[in-house]
């Protein structure tokens, strides 16, 4: 196996999450031990065993996509675009300059893709027949459309695909992007993941396989897989340490003292 030729650095980050629609807000929420768990608002969950979720709140897609473009994009693609635009702006690439398009790629992972669009179009099929299925159904639903949409926004003509490895999809995307840059196949990569799976089929399916908490009476304390805070909400652009001038590396997201561990009921 050939040795790595180039060191890879992170030059910007973006985030759309249940506890903040940008990196600073999300990070502070995690330091404060603030949960994004709350009763489901995207559909009537009264008949479900699981009636809460960590929904994104107050997201304004108009900040990142025009109305026509957003209408033809599943919510997971909208979230990916929001995070990608933030990351590129943070890296100094927001105006579409400062990088070589042919040497810039995109990898956006997603565990399930546009499941919201799939459910909506299936309902249309059942109620109105196949002739009413949207011609945009397939390009809105497929798991790699977020990567494609982001690449078109920034004219990124380098490596472009989606990773789909369940809960590891985002980390998988970042790892692949790292290797692509380290081995010289690209200079800049927009990498991360997006999901918008608070839908009846997804919540029902995960709930019935007992993969979700049923702590409906206390959703803000329901997510407790670890006793330490954990954060993962890219996309973020990666690029190699270059001999030519480049944007400053992203400063570490740390504080002078460790965050206070939130107290959870037994």
pLDDT at 3: 59
pLDDT at 6: 86
**The model's pTM:** 0.85
**Is residue 259 situated within a structural domain?**
no
pLDDT at 222: 87
**Is residue 62 situated within a structural domain?**
yes
pLDDT at 147 over 90: yes
**Is residue 47 situated within a structural domain?**
yes
**Percentage of the residues of the chain whose pLDDT score is greater than 70:** 83
pLDDT tens-digit profile of 36-78? 999 999 999 999 999 999 999 999 999 999 999 999 999 999 9
**Is residue 258 situated within a structural domain?**
no
**Is residue 153 situated within a structural domain?**
yes
**Is residue 35 situated within a structural domain?**
yes
**Is residue 85 situated within a structural domain?**
yes
Q: What is the CATH number of the domain that holds 123?
A: 3.40.47.10
Q: Count how many domains the chain has.
A: 1
Tell which wins on pLDDT, 5 or 237: 5
Q: How confident is the model at residue 249 (pLDDT cuts 50, 70, 90)?
A: low
**Is residue 49 situated within a structural domain?**
yes
Task: Give the structural domain span for 120.
Answer: 9-216+225-238
Rounded to the nearest integer, the mean pLDDT of the chain is: 87
Tell me the average pLDDT across 101-116: 96
DSSP the chain: -PPP-S-EEE------BTTBSSHHHHHHHHHTT----EE--SS--TTSS--EE----S--GGGTS-HHHHHTS-HHHHHHHHHHHHHHHHTT-TTS-SS-GGGEEEEEE-SS-SHHHHHHHHHHHHHH-GGGS-TTHHHHHSTTHHHHHHHHHHT--S-EE----GGGHHHHHHHHHHHHHHTTS-SEEEEEE-----SHHHHHHHHHTT-S---TT-GGGT--S-SS-------EEEEE--SS--PPPPPP---SSPPPPPP---
Give yes or no for a contact between 172 and 163, defined as CB atoms under 8 angstroms apart. yes
């Amino acid at each position: 196996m050939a040795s790595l030729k180039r060191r890879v650095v992170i030059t910007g980050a973006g985030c759309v999450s249940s506890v903040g629609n940008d990196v600073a807000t999300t990070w502070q929420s995690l330091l404060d031990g603030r949960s994004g768990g709350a009763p489901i608002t995207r559909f009537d969950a009264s008949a479900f065993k699981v009636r809460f979720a960590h929904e994104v709140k107050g997201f304004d897609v108009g900040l990142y996509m025009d109305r026509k473009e957003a209408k033809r994009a599943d919510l997971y693609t909208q979230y990916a675009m929001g995070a990608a635009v933030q990351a590129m702006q943070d890296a100094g690439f927001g105006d579409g300059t400062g990088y070589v398009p042919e040497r810039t790629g995109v990898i956006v992972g997603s565990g399930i893709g546009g499941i919201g669009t799939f459910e909506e179009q299936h309902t249309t099929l059942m109620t109105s027949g196949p002739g009413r299925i949207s011609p945009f159904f397939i390009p809105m639903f497929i798991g790699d459309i977020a990567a494609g949409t982001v690449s078109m926004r920034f004219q990124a003509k380098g490596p472009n695909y989606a990773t789909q490895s369940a809960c590891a999809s985002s980390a998988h995307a970042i790892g692949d992007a790292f290797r692509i840059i380290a081995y010289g196949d690209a200079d800049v990569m927009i990498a991360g993941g997006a999901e918008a799976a608070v839908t009846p089929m997804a919540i029902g399916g995960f709930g019935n396989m007992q993969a979700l908490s049923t702590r409906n009476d206390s959703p803000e304390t329901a997510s407790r897989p670890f006793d330490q805070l954990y954060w993962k909400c890219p996309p973020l652009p990666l690029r190699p340490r270059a001999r030519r001038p480049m944007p400053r590396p992203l400063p570490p997201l740390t504080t002078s003292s460790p965050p206070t561990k939130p107290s959870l009921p037994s």
